[in-house]
Chain A
Amino acid sequence: MSDAGTAPLTILLAGLGGQGVVTAGDLLIAAALHEGYEVKKSEIHGLSRRFGSVSCQVRLGSPLHSPLRGHGGIDILLALEGYEALKQLPYLKPEGVGLVNEFWLRPAAIQTGTETPPSREDPRLQWFPGTTQAQELEAPRSLNYYMVGVVSEWLPLSETSWEQSLAEGQRAKAAPTNRQLFERGRAAARALRRRGPRGVPR
């Protein structure tokens, strides 16, 4: 297990059914386990599977007790869709960071109403063109790999751990594309961090 000095880090993953939120969580878990961290993961099942919001929390570090945190307890919000990101914002710590895929799918309740998405002005949010990138590679369903690449820049996990994680349980056919998207996400995040965004939890 990791040394007790690594304080717990909590990541909330959010998105829509079919976007691969849970798989993204599994990739984080696999990398963290390889790194020797203690991990806990909390998933929401049940009704949420039908076109609904999907979310899960991944925690790593120690000491680790609860599998989830409540409002104001999340270090990193990783969202695959805009509304889901905004919905989950109350969970984010004031000093936390939100990494969001630039993609909006209006909930049924506002399909009729306003065209304008709600304010995205929260300074904690960073936006990434995951959907565009995934479409460019003709792999819309591998969007989650792009966003995992993005978040990898914020996590204390080594290259080898990500190698391991990406290699595990891969359908051979999709693997190269997934890998490519991961790298693109990672590169985009690195570029952003070089430009010096707000403080990030490490």
Chain B
Amino acid sequence: MNLTLKIWRQKGANDKGKIVDYPITEVSPDMSFLEMLDVLNQELIEKGEEPVAFDHDCREGICGSCSMFVNGQAHGPDSMVTVCQLHMRSFKDGDTIFIEPWRATAFPVIKDLIVDRSAFDRIQQAGGFISVNTSGNTQDANAIPIDKHDADTAFDAATCIGCGACVASCKNSSAMLFVSAKVSQFALLPQGKVEATDRVLNMVKQMDDEGFGNCTNTGACEVECPKGISLENIARMNREYLSASLKG
């Protein structure tokens, strides 16, 4: 197929940036979206132009590096996939495709499609852990049975890949889905309950300090999340936060 790509080019954080058109030919439907960009980049390099910069690493939907809007949708038109898992068979000959970086105050652009998501790390550093040292004599892993349903729900929350699509898709740039996924994982497990109060207060405070917006329950995050992280996590975090605030 032949396509027209309209890609956001921005040299650095202080550059204004603009959309640039690139025609591309002979795209195979079996290519992944990023492989299609690879082909474009090879052409640009051979012409002596700078390739389009984008974050990527695992290319199998698990590292959370890849991040871009494709035709206005985070990770593109398919649901439950990251953009590295998107394949060109989802497009048709003659299509025009807009490709842009995440847009959020807390995620400044570094170059082209690459943004700085270190705010997510700082939120985790504020409380996204269980305070247990490595000792080699913690209690036996089977000492506390955990209800399978709780364990599975904790696991589902823990599968967040930290990609930032939730923030990028939210009109308020809220990070609630991301933060609530971690809070939920630990709130559902007995090991995590000990520090639950401090955890939720600290993580929410850091989230606010980073400049993420408020949650107004539009649910756009859940729709665009490639891992299907559920809005129930936000409800759970709100409960945790309320009871922590009452205690604190």
Chain B binds chain A: no
Using CB atoms and an 8 Å cutoff, list the residues of chain A in contact with chain B: none
